[in-house]
Structure 1
Amino acid sequence: MSSALFTPLQLGDIIISNRIGMSPLTRNRSSSTVPNELMKEYYEQRAAGGAGIIISEGTLITRQGSQWQNAPGIWNKDQIEGWKKITDSVHALGSKMYCQLFGRLNHPDAPEQIASGEPVYAPSAIGARFVKSRYFPGGAPYSTPTEVPNPTILIAQYKQAAINAKEAGFDGVELHGANGYLPHQFLDSGSNKRTDKWGGSEENRARFLLEVLKALRKVWGPNVGMRVAPATGNNDMGMPLQDTLKTYGYLLREVDKLGLAYVTLMRYSEVYDPERDGKRHAPRHDVLATYRSLLPNTHIFLNLEVTPELAEAVVSKGEVAGVFFGIPWIAHPDLARRIRAGKALDNVLDLRTLYAIVEDDPRVGYTDYKEAVY
């Protein structure tokens, strides 16, 4: 492959060895929200497989933040200590690691939610349609969340999570601003119907996400990233095209002033095509071409259905600083090494095990994928 993918890059205060990153990938394998030894092995495999930077799977900032029973968190000491073992191992293998902060899409009857005693907050009391919680056999529709009276209490939780991530040895944090989670809910006019300073205009709807980023910058300086998805409609997100262009246009111009390490732009995907089932969906458009010029001072990473060929093309042309692969890293723990050596990406992905343990063995479909012969 072209050497463009395998040149170092400065991100904030750190230098990554190449331009191939590993996306945040929920795998649902923690031990009651605490990172464990099996997760450590999983991340070690990908660090040894040549990832320039690894973004942790979505990591919860509070107990009541997830639709996933075994997603890891970072709000208590046990979680911090579990992550510290992982970041130490990743660093020893020559890679860097950011913690992705996400959360707040849940069902009030989920056991962890009942234990927390707090409501499921959202910008407005609007539930995600057609989406089912994974806590219950066969799934259960999400109920209507509680409109948060003062969004600054949530910003404080993000800031504390960033402080905890620093103690856990991460190199930075990434804000999950996509996939229908809390920042995305504030940004989208379909899920945010507030009439105060946190809703209405694109400036007001972007306020929450921008204020969270500023809080993270106070903890991490320039070592903060962000992920956005203007053209994917996960969890019942999506605005008309003109609203999308105005909202993300404003957001990204403001983000470019903050001095972040990078912004990840997720591409349009047929998986979220709007021609079905009455859901709200984000509109089809070329995300990179539309928004690249709005981030002249910020490194851009491209993600979602990126191929090695596309990665080489956009990096070598200078259209992006780097790329994040997602699904290919699951089935190929040595993905970056394979790309560099020109090896085929020929492991077969086991769809049964993406989020679930089968055969009573959590290693199946997780740490048992084979490396290529070199």
Structure 2
Amino acid sequence: MADNACLYGQGSMMTLDANILFSSFRLGDLELKNRIVMAPLTRNRATKGSDAPNDLNAEYYRQRASAGLIISEASQISQQGQGYAWTPGIYSEAQIAGWQKVTKAVHEGGGKIFIQLWHVGRISHVSLQPNGAAPVSSSPIRAKTQTFIETGFVDVSEPHALTIDEIAGVVRDYAAAAENAKRAGFDGVEIHAANGYLIDQFLKDGVNKRTDIYGGSIENRVRFALEVTDAILRIWDRSRVGIRISPVSPFNDASDRDPAKIFFHLAEALSARGLAYMHVIEGATGGARDHAPFDYQALRKIFSGAYMANNGYTRELAIAALAEKRADLVAFGKSFISNPDLVERLRRDAPLNPFDQTTFYGGDAKGYTDYPSLAGAAL
């Protein structure tokens, strides 16, 4: 086993204890067995017709139960919240029953799992919406991006701006989904407020052009995020609720002129509510960590809960971030796709399986549950 990671810093070699990555961590009232988090990963393998999780999904998550915490793939809170074909929901009885298979498998494997609650907003297509309606957003501006429907990739549809009454209805949908997550056996919930989806569409002024109480000022643009959070906190204890943000990511055509101002304000408001963690995509989602300047450590100091770092973390970067107290937990994404035993591979500093990107979205067991583990390889 490789016990140390050697990194260069300030012109000299630093040796950091790798064991910190595998140490336990108290997240609210949960004891996590290590600091390694499986990030939410959209795989488009829910049951066609019902968007309910199935036995194959349960096996996929069971294989990865060695993570300190699994955050499920993003799961739409309503049909209106869906933006991609064959992603799972958490609003029907069939979906709840499907997720019960997943949570049971993870718990039997000794793991813990939160569900990520999702409304895509304008990142959708009329073919996915109830009765072919237009998608919704903070403002009626079509995103310059594509989505994935049953026939392949297509441009997203033009959205309509949610009315104040409709916003209240979406908040109720979040609350109902949070209730359903309890019934499904999850250990907690993560609010998806990142990557240019609905909550991010209210936060960022590149999308939000409203002139009512949900637009314009910082206080107005965080209102929807906080209403969703407060609705969920009436159902779940704050120690079982986290949130995901992406302050500078341009993903899905979302941007803000002053991300520090809006996200520092949001972090302060969420800290006052005592959320368990803030899951931060540092840089561009799936891209450059230095995409745009942002003081993540200042954000970390504002927020009183755990700081979960995400985006391009290797074993060495993760160990350094934890050792230098720049993060409490580190989320890994693509490496968990191709390495069901990622925790053990990181522990041994063993080679990682390469991933097959052609099998990321949709399909069957190929590229999903058939990646090999170390299978008892010598230490």
Could you state the TM-score of these two structures normalised by the residue count of structure 1?
Answer: 0.90
Q: How does 1:96-111 map to 2 (within 5 A)?
A: 96-105=112-121, 106-110=123-127
Task: Indicate the RMSD between aligned Cα atoms, in angstroms.
Answer: 1.9
2:366 aligns with 364
What per-residue deviation string (whole Å, max 9, x for no partner) do you get for residues 21-63 of structure 1?
100000000103100000011001001xx20100000001011
2:26 aligns with 10
Letter in 1 for 2:348: A
Letter in 1 for 2:139: S
Number of aligned positions between the proteins: 354
1:144 aligns with 158
Tell me, in whole angstroms, the C-alpha distance in 2 between the residues paired with 1:138 and 1:71. Answer: 14
Q: 53-62 or 84-93: which moved more?
A: 84-93
Contact kept? 1:55, 1:174, Cα under 8 Å:
yes
SS of the aligned residue for 1:57 comes to strand
2:64 aligns with 46
Letter in 2 for 1:294: I
SS of the aligned residue for 1:64 comes to coil
Structure 1 position 260 matched with structure 2 position 286 = no
SS of the aligned residue for 1:309 comes to helix
Q: How does 1:1-374 map to 2 (within 5 A)?
A: 1=3, 2-32=18-48, 33-47=51-65, 50-105=66-121, 106-110=123-127, 112-115=128-131, 119-129=134-144, 131-135=145-149, 137=151, 139-150=153-164, 151-222=167-238, 223-240=240-257, 243-269=258-284, 284-295=292-303, 297-345=304-352, 347-357=353-363, 362-372=364-374, 373-374=377-378
What per-residue deviation string (whole Å, max 9, x for no partner) do you get for residues 116-157 of structure 1?
x6542111111101x123116453322221111121111111
Could you state the TM-score of these two structures normalised by the residue count of structure 2?
Answer: 0.89
Percent identity of paired positions between Structure 1 and Structure 2:
38
Tell me, in whole angstroms, the C-alpha distance in 2 between the residues paired with 1:144 and 1:306. Answer: 35
SS of the aligned residue for 1:134 comes to strand
2:12 aligns with none
Tell me, in whole angstroms, the C-alpha distance in 2 between the residues paired with 1:262 and 1:162. Answer: 17
2:9 aligns with none
Tell me, in whole angstroms, the C-alpha distance in 1 between the residues paired with 2:63 and 2:288. Answer: 34
Tell me, in whole angstroms, the C-alpha distance in 2 between the residues paired with 1:87 and 1:138. Answer: 30
Name structure 1 gaps, 5 residues minimum.
275-281
Contact kept? 2:113, 2:187, Cα under 8 Å:
yes
Letter in 1 for 2:342: L
Letter in 2 for 1:16: L
Tell me, in whole angstroms, the C-alpha distance in 2 between the residues paired with 1:97 and 1:217. Answer: 18
What per-residue deviation string (whole Å, max 9, x for no partner) do you get for residues 82-128 of structure 1?
10111011111111000000123454531x4144x654211111110
Letter in 1 for 2:72: S
Tell me, in whole angstroms, the C-alpha distance in 1 between the residues paired with 2:204 and 2:172. Answer: 22
Q: 169-178 or 206-215: which moved more?
A: 206-215
Tell me, in whole angstroms, the C-alpha distance in 2 between the residues paired with 1:143 and 1:168. Answer: 32
In the TM superposition, residue 319 of structure 1 has moved relative to its aligned partner by: 2.0
Q: Which runs of 4+ in 1 moved over 6 A?
A: none
Structure (1/2) with the larger strand percentage: 2
Tell me, in whole angstroms, the C-alpha distance in 1 between the residues paired with 2:354 and 2:266. Answer: 38
